[in-house]
């Protein structure tokens, strides 16, 4: 592996930080390899170039790893992850007008996702009653937390995401413009686009992602299983370099330095990146800021070591929303894609017995998630689904 | 290159192929036009370019194409992927043109910078001609682009050298040939391009003039 040069794809987002810092701040070189960062414009491109071997590894939506491994939507290529790049980081932003409508429908506290979801259900019902166009929400990819967080939130209030609203995939840089033009009424997207919408005076951040699910694997470093098998030393070196970069990012005293590096790759100001990293988020134009250190979590054992419970949760979402059938075989494949064993081998440690909360997702509504019992979890949600459900293709 | 579907004659399905509805989604209007011309020359009559990607799914729905070609620089590719899932948004489900047995052609398409989607049930061999044509036009376009960039670069260099020559002729009383010879000798000695030396001369003249 002497002087190896890895081509690693990424989408310009703050949660690619560990990769960007590992490449630019000497962590890769210290492990004896170099990272060639390959900037991409779509998750489809990232997935296809990784599948074809044009990339050695890639910054990837966590649920997309599962979808790829199961062969959903395209040819099956076993993709795994040995490293979690970030937890959380998304937010649900809505137009100022929709925010006013929600406020008018509730006396409760709209910062509570249960309250806002029920208010949304009323707005949706009103629109339906007067024959208005359904509300539209932007999200980034069919296999993304943005899709699942929006769906989870609205379904908890009684809105059927497939029947009552329109969910449209939009590239993150188009989100703000689509909100401004009225093409969508809200969106769920990662940093920094929510803040960009607020600072442009166009949107209101309704919920941080971590208020919908306390702990959700957002992006991982993905690679072909075959590549990991063929290059064990290089894979381990990559994991160590990313871990050290992530630790640097998580240290507040380095925020200014790493914000410069990250900002350079994603074309926003270092100041904006620093505020995202610190979890200090302006919620509405000239409005209050909320400080939540869990807004985006990079570095530390729970945020870097792949967690099979998260993989099982993603698989449960695929099934819940009709993207995959439920089978023990598929569940096992999904869970096996989150390779904490490679992480442990690279560090010469095992965190296998570390205490973890019983529920490692922490959703604001519904039962605790038990990775071994997806059927009961789905039964709970399906029983709450009102009316007949139209069957979806896949 | 294979011939287009119409020219080869009377097999059943030939006429249908000429009528395949094809949509092109490309950030580059020029390249999209080149591709459209190519497809029409090959006998495909129903080719539409979608230049405005706002509300892309609604446009696709209205058009109901059987084949969608999209440039890889378009971030809207992710929007198209939603077509795999949403039977209510499009009339017919769409799949990516992937064929495990034909990895080489997929790789060639990615290298050329294009991806193809087809409606479910359409036989892949009916699309091969289109994809081959697409790859060759995309590659030809990027060759043209490179040549154009080189030509522009050469013109810029020529202008720089002419300005530097004029400066040197005036400052040192040299003839045009002498000025050029001096720059070329300096460039060789310093292992640089003449245009770089010319730029230095111009910068120096601006600073000192």
Counted residue by residue, chain B has a size of: 209
Is the pLDDT confidence value at A269 over 60?
yes
Nearest chain B CA: its distance from A99 CA (Å): 23
What pLDDT, on a 0 to 100 scale, did the predictor assign at position A387?
A: 46
Is the pLDDT confidence value at B97 over 80?
no
* Structure confidence at residue B111 as a pLDDT band (50, 70, 90): confident
In the block, residue with structure tokens 């004029």? B166
Per-residue burial over A3-13, b = 16 or more CB atoms within 10 Å of its CB, e = otherwise: ebebbbbbbbb
Residue B33 and residue B77 share a domain: yes
* Structure confidence at residue B158 as a pLDDT band (50, 70, 90): very high
Is B3 among the domain residues? no
Residue B66 and residue B19 share a domain: yes
Is the pLDDT confidence value at A233 over 90?
yes
| Chain A residue at shortest CA distance from B55 | A183
Provide the CATH number for the domain around residue B137.
3.40.190
CA angle A292, A12, A77 (to 5 degrees): 105
High-pLDDT (> 90) share of chain A, %: 87
Between chain A and chain B, the number of residue pairs with CB atoms below 8 A apart is: 78
What pLDDT, on a 0 to 100 scale, did the predictor assign at position A343?
A: 96
Residue A79 and residue A224 share a domain: yes
SS3 at position A86 = strand
What pLDDT, on a 0 to 100 scale, did the predictor assign at position B102?
A: 67
What pLDDT, on a 0 to 100 scale, did the predictor assign at position B53?
A: 79
Residue A200 and residue A227 share a domain: no
Is A292 among the domain residues? no
Residue B85 and residue B29 share a domain: yes
Counting the structural domains of chain B, the total is 2
CB-neighbour burial class of residue A201 (10 A; exposed 0-12, middle 13-18, buried 19+): exposed
* Structure confidence at residue B1 as a pLDDT band (50, 70, 90): very low
Is the pLDDT confidence value at B165 over 60?
yes
Among the partner-chain residues A52, A140, A174, the one whose CB lies closest to the CB of B106 is A52
Is A294 among the domain residues? no
Residue A241 and residue A190 share a domain: no
| Chain B residue at shortest CA distance from A48 | B110
Is B4 among the domain residues? no
Is the pLDDT confidence value at A218 over 50?
yes
Residues B96/A71, Cβ–Cβ less than 8 Å? no
* Structure confidence at residue A356 as a pLDDT band (50, 70, 90): low
What pLDDT, on a 0 to 100 scale, did the predictor assign at position B51?
A: 82
Residues A52/B106, Cβ–Cβ less than 8 Å? yes
Residue B69 and residue B55 share a domain: yes
Provide the CATH number for the domain around residue A142.
3.40.190.10
| B20-40: pLDDT as tens digits | 899 999 888 888 999 999 999
Q: Quote the strand ranges of B3-56, DSSP E.
A: 22-25, 47-50
Nearest Cα neighbor of A146 from A112, A106, A193, A96 is A193
Is the pLDDT confidence value at A135 over 70?
yes
| A27-80: pLDDT as tens digits | 999 999 999 999 999 999 999 999 989 999 999 999 999 999 998 867 788 999
Residue A25 and residue A67 share a domain: yes
Residue A317 and residue A274 share a domain: yes
Give the separation between CA B77 and CA A83, rounded to whole angstroms.
Answer: 27
Residue A329 and residue A185 share a domain: no
ipTM comes to 0.88
Residue B29 and residue B87 share a domain: yes
What pLDDT, on a 0 to 100 scale, did the predictor assign at position B116?
A: 87
Is the pLDDT confidence value at B198 over 80?
yes
Is B1 among the domain residues? no
Is the pLDDT confidence value at B96 over 80?
no
* Structure confidence at residue B13 as a pLDDT band (50, 70, 90): very low
Is B100 among the domain residues? yes
Is A28 among the domain residues? yes
Residue B120 and residue B61 share a domain: yes
Residue B110 and residue B41 share a domain: yes
Residue numbers of the domain that contains A22: 4-86+218-278+299-364
Counting the structural domains of chain A, the total is 2
Residue A269 and residue A177 share a domain: no
Residue A337 tokens, joined: 């894609």
Mean pLDDT to the nearest integer, A311-325: 95
Is the pLDDT confidence value at A352 over 70?
no
Is B26 among the domain residues? yes
Among the partner-chain residues B81, B88, B95, the one whose CB lies closest to the CB of A141 is B81
What pLDDT, on a 0 to 100 scale, did the predictor assign at position A173?
A: 86
What pLDDT, on a 0 to 100 scale, did the predictor assign at position A390?
A: 42
Mean pLDDT to the nearest integer, B128-136: 85
Mean pLDDT to the nearest integer, B125-146: 85
What pLDDT, on a 0 to 100 scale, did the predictor assign at position B6?
A: 44
Is A80 among the domain residues? yes
Among the partner-chain residues A42, A74, A390, the one whose CB lies closest to the CB of B98 is A74
What pLDDT, on a 0 to 100 scale, did the predictor assign at position B86?
A: 58
Nearest Cα neighbor of A170 from A152, A204, A198, A193 is A193
Residue A222 and residue A77 share a domain: yes
| A159-217: pLDDT as tens digits | 999 999 999 999 898 999 999 999 999 999 998 999 999 999 999 999 999 999 999 99
Average confidence score pLDDT of chain A? 92
Give the separation between CA A28 and CA A21, rounded to whole angstroms.
Answer: 9
* Structure confidence at residue B89 as a pLDDT band (50, 70, 90): low
Residue B113 and residue B32 share a domain: yes
Best of B75, B76, B98, B118 to disrupt the A interface by mutation (most A CBs within 10 Å)? B75
Residue ending a domain, choose from B97, B122, B146: B146
Is A210 among the domain residues? yes
Cβ contact (<8 Å) for A140 and B78? yes
DSSP designation for A338: B
Cis-peptide, bond into residue B69, ω within 30° of zero = no
| Chain B residue at shortest CA distance from A324 | B85
What pLDDT, on a 0 to 100 scale, did the predictor assign at position A282?
A: 93
* Structure confidence at residue A228 as a pLDDT band (50, 70, 90): very high
Is B5 among the domain residues? no
Counted residue by residue, chain A has a size of: 394
Is A326 among the domain residues? yes
Residue B161 and residue B128 share a domain: no
Is A357 among the domain residues? yes
Angle between helices B125-172 and B103-112 in degrees, nearest 10: 30
Residue B40 and residue B81 share a domain: yes
Residue ending a domain, choose from B122, B146, B170: B146
Residue B29 and residue B108 share a domain: yes
Is B8 among the domain residues? no
Residue numbers of the domain that contains B61: 14-146
Q: Quote the strand ranges of A11-66, DSSP E.
A: 33-39, 57-61
Average confidence score pLDDT of chain B? 83
Give the separation between CA A118 and CA A156, rounded to whole angstroms.
Answer: 8
Give residue B59's Cα distance to chain centre: 23
Greatest mean pLDDT range, A253-267, A376-390, B145-159, B195-209: A253-267
Which of the two residues, A65 and A350, has the higher pLDDT score? A65
Among the partner-chain residues A44, A52, A393, the one whose CB lies closest to the CB of B81 is A44
What pLDDT, on a 0 to 100 scale, did the predictor assign at position A388?
A: 42
Out of A151-155, A229-233, B74-78, least confident range: B74-78
Residue A103 and residue A204 share a domain: yes
């Amino acid at each position: 592996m002497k002087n190896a040069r890895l081509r690693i794809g990424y989408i310009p987002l703050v949660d690619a930080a560990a990769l960007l810092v590992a490449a630019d701040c000497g962590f890769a070189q210290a492990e004896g390899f170099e990272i060639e960062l390959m900037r991409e414009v779509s998750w489809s491109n990232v997935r296809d170039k990784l599948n074809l071997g044009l990339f050695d590894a890639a910054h990837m939506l966590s649920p997309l790893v599962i979808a790829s491994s199961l062969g959903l939507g395209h040819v099956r290529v076993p993709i795994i992850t040995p490293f979690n790049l970030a937890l959380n980081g998304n937010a649900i932003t809505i137009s100022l007008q929709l925010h006013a409508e929600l406020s008018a429908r509730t006396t409760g506290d709209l910062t509570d996702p249960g309250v806002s979801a029920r208010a949304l259900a009323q707005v949706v019902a009103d629109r339906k009653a007067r024959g208005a166009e359904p509300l539209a929400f932007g999200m980034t990819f069919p296999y993304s937390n943005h899709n699942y967080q929006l769906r989870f939130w609205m379904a908890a209030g009684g809105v059927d995401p497939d029947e009552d609203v329109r969910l449209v995939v939009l590239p993150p840089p188009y989100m703000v413009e689509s909100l401004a033009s009225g093409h969508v009424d809200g969106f769920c997207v990662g940093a920094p686009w929510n803040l960009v919408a607020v600072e442009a005076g166009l949107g209101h951040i309704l919920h941080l992602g971590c208020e919908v699910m306390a702990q959700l694997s957002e992006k991982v470093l993905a690679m072909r299983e075959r590549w990991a098998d063929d290059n064990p030393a290089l894979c381990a070196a990559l994991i160590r370099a990313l871990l050290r970069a992530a630790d640097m990012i998580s240290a507040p005293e380095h925020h200014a330095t790493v914000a410069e590096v990250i900002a350079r790759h994603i074309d926003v100001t270092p100041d904006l990146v620093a505020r995202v990293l610190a979890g200090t988020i302006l919620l509405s134009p000239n409005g209050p800021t909320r400080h939540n250190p869990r807004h985006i979590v990079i570095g530390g054992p729970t945020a870097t070591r792949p967690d099979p419970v998260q993989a099982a949760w993603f698989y449960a979402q695929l099934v819940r929303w009709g993207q995959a059938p439920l089978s023990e075989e598929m569940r096992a494949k999904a869970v096996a894609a989150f390779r904490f064993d490679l992480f442990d081998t690279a560090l010469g440690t095992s965190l296998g017995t570390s205490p973890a909360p019983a529920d490692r997702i922490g959703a604001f509504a519904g039962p605790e998630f038990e990775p071994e019992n997806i059927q009961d979890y789905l039964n709970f949600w399906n029983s709450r689904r009102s009316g007949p459900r139209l069957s979806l293709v896949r | 290159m294979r011939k287009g579907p119409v020219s080869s004659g009377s097999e059943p399905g030939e006429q249908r192929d000429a009528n395949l509805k094809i949509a092109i989604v490309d950030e580059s209007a020029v390249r999209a036009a080149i591709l459209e011309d190519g497809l029409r020359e090959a006998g495909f009559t129903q080719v539409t370019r979608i230049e405005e990607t706002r509300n892309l799914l609604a446009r696709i729905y209205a058009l109901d194409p059987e084949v969608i070609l999209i440039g890889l620089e378009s971030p809207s590719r992710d929007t198209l992927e939603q077509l795999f899932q949403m039977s209510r948004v499009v009339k017919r489900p769409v799949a990516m043109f992937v064929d495990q047995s034909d990895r080489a052609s997929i790789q060639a398409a990615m290298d050329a910078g294009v991806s193809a989607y087809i409606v479910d049930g359409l036989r892949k061999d009916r699309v091969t001609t289109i994809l081959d044509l697409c790859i060759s036009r995309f590659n030809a376009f990027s060759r043209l682009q490179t040549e154009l960039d080189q030509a522009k670069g050469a013109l810029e260099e020529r202008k720089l050298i002419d300005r530097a020559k004029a400066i040197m002729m005036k400052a040192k009383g040299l003839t045009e040939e002498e000025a050029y010879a001096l720059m070329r000798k300096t460039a060789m000695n310093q292992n640089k391009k003449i245009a770089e030396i010319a730029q230095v001369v111009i910068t120096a003249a601006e600073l000192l003039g």
